Amino acid sequence: MNTRREFFKTGLALGAAVSLARWSRLSAAESPTPVVPAPGPESPRSVLVAVRDGTRTAMVDKALASLGGIGAFVKAGQTVCLKPNIGWDAPPERGANTHPELVGHLVRLCLAAGAKSVSVFDNTCDQWQLTYEHSGIAQAAREAGARVVNGKDESLYREVDIPGGVKLKRALVHTLVLDSDVLLNVPVLKHHSGTGMTAAMKNLMGCVWDRGFYHQNNVHQAIVDFLTLRKPTLNILDAYHPMVRNGPRGKTVNDVVEMRTLMASTDPVALDAAAAKMLGLEPAGVAYIKIADEMKIGTMDLARVEIRRFSLA
């Protein structure tokens, strides 16, 4: 165990150095400031902002203000890929997808911050046009000025190496995820019959073409492996009315519980750990959170996280 952990530590430190250099070089072409530093062994404590009892827009505004505003993440002229959870052909009130109101608001904020373009997509589970429309996300994103991009077009995916991956070493990844300056991960919190829960890290499964590969090759490990390729610039979790059973698709509105909460962090592991607690789960009991912690993608130890709690009530 120890040697394995150490192997990951050194490997990831090296990998992080290389990949961070790569991403900062990429964004340097567009703007002088690199993206927000990702938490690693040497970086400062992860910050997690948790807001409750407000509207989705008020809560995300509060969370962003606490993190230095949208401008800390999106610079003028940058291209933004906003990745909500648009998995299922279900209306917003079922909580199966990220709420359209949150997506629309974030698109507007990015554009107001001077983003060159904001693109929204997901590799949906249900038929994609129906899912985009019935989730309300296509319309909300469209009206806010985003490009709504097909996630079911294989030609828009590019095969890349994932050097830090243990199981997922090579994958077809959507070019929006690979090429955008900013990756905003905007998941929804749900129970999940396969992995226990889904929030920030599992949402990124929709960036990859072949979902079946994840399931064939230890889904938990593959979820974490992807994070070694690209970590989102920022993760914003919609926990307004999480689906607490029958997930991830859900059956009726009876599966959701109103918690009126929104959380944001650059550390997807810390965010998922807090999210697990919202569903009454222990973070270490969710295999992919534990693996991500071990691989130093972030920390699941909330005692080591700076949690900023706000109530808008």
Give the residues lining the site for another protein (CB under 8 A): 50, 52-53, 89, 119, 125-127, 129-130, 134, 138, 142, 147-150, 153, 155-156, 175-176, 192-196, 211-213, 215-221, 244-246, 248-249, 251-252, 254-257, 259, 261, 273-274, 277-280, 285, 287, 302, 307, 309, 311
To another protein, the closest distance from the beta carbon of 230 in angstroms equals 19
Q: In the complex with another protein, which residue's Cβ is closer, 78 or 261?
A: 261
To another protein, the closest distance from the beta carbon of 257 in angstroms equals 5
Q: In the complex with another protein, which residue's Cβ is closer, 55 or 150?
A: 150
Q: In the complex with another protein, which residue's Cβ is closer, 232 or 247?
A: 247
To another protein, the closest distance from the beta carbon of 254 in angstroms equals 5
The values of phi and psi at residue 142, to 5°, are -60, -50
Closest CA to 146 of 111, 183, 98, 97: 111
Compute the radius of gyration of the chain from its Cα atoms. Answer: 18
Give strand ranges (E) for the chain.
47-52, 79-84, 117-120, 147-148, 157-161, 170-174, 182-186, 188-192, 196-198, 234-243, 261-265, 306-311
To another protein, the closest distance from the beta carbon of 219 in angstroms equals 5
Q: In the complex with another protein, which residue's Cβ is closer, 171 or 219?
A: 219
Q: In the complex with another protein, which residue's Cβ is closer, 16 or 103?
A: 103
Task: Assess contact for 221 and 305: CB atoms under 8 A.
Answer: no
Q: Which two tokens stand for residue 174?
A: 């959507």
For residue 122, count CB atoms less than 10 angstroms from its CB and return exposed for 0-12, middle for 13-18, buried for 19 or more: buried
To another protein, the closest distance from the beta carbon of 201 in angstroms equals 14
Q: What is the DSSP letter of 180?
A: -
